């Protein structure tokens, strides 16, 4: 795997959910086929979970439900995403430890910009990674629009 293709609408769902959760972390699942992301499901944010490590608390029940849903819509669970508020879209040591071989890992770095606190602006950077097998290292993927 070298690249990921993501639809504009899915990019919007990703960035909107990151902005809504800010300054907390948000996480979710990405559905699609092979290297193509067709759907994004928000699973929670760290405010709800009262933890900053929400990404690592995706439960087996969540995964079961997502897989059923994917099956119904004719897609597959191909990976996960989470945000890095005020932090680069680069996997942490903990992120790397939790990466499932063959699954895409999308990280959205989000930072607040702009001069007026009452009208926050955000800038986001979306990056994707994969670990092909347990033995292999982490590889950054090229993200392409559709």
Which residue among 16, 67, 95, 124 contacts Zn ion (CB under 5 A)? 95
Interface with Zn ion: number of residues (CB under 5 A): 2
For residue 137, what are its two tokens?
């290292």
Residue sitting closest to Zn ion (CB): 95
51 binds Zn ion (CB under 5 A): no
Using the minimum distance from each CB to Zn ion, give the nearer residue, 95 or 124: 95
The minimum distance between CB 6 and Zn ion, in angstroms, equals: 18
The minimum distance between CB 44 and Zn ion, in angstroms, equals: 14
- Measured CA to CA, the distance from residue 31 to residue 1 in angstroms comes to 16
Using the minimum distance from each CB to Zn ion, give the nearer residue, 69 or 95: 95
Looking up tokens 């897989």 gives 67
Q: Which residues, at least 6 apart from 91, have a Cβ–Cβ distance to it below 8 Å?
A: 99, 105, 107, 129, 138
67 binds Zn ion (CB under 5 A): no
69 binds Zn ion (CB under 5 A): no
Q: Which residues, at least 6 apart from 83, have a Cβ–Cβ distance to it below 8 Å?
A: 17, 18, 21, 22, 25, 26, 27, 107, 108, 109, 110
Using the minimum distance from each CB to Zn ion, give the nearer residue, 66 or 110: 110
- Measured CA to CA, the distance from residue 111 to residue 123 in angstroms comes to 6
Residues forming contacts to Zn ion in the complex (CB under 5 A) are: 92, 95
């Amino acid at each position: 795997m070298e690249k990921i293709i993501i639809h504009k609408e899915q990019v919007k769902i990703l960035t909107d959910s990151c902005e809504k959760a800010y300054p907390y972390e948000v996480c979710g699942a990405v559905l699609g086929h092979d290297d193509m992301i067709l759907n994004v499901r928000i699973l929670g944010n760290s405010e709800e979970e009262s933890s900053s490590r929400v990404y690592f608390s995706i439960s087996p029940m969540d995964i079961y439900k997502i897989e059923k849903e994917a099956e119904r819509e004719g897609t597959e669970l191909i990976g996960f995403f989470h945000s890095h508020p005020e932090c680069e879209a680069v996997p942490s040591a903990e992120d790397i430890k939790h990466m499932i071989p063959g699954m895409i890992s999308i990280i959205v770095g989000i930072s607040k910009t702009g001069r007026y606190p009452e009208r926050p602006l955000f800038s986001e950077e979306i990056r994707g990674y994969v670990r092909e097998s347990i033995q292999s290292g982490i590889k950054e993927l090229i993200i392409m629009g559709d």
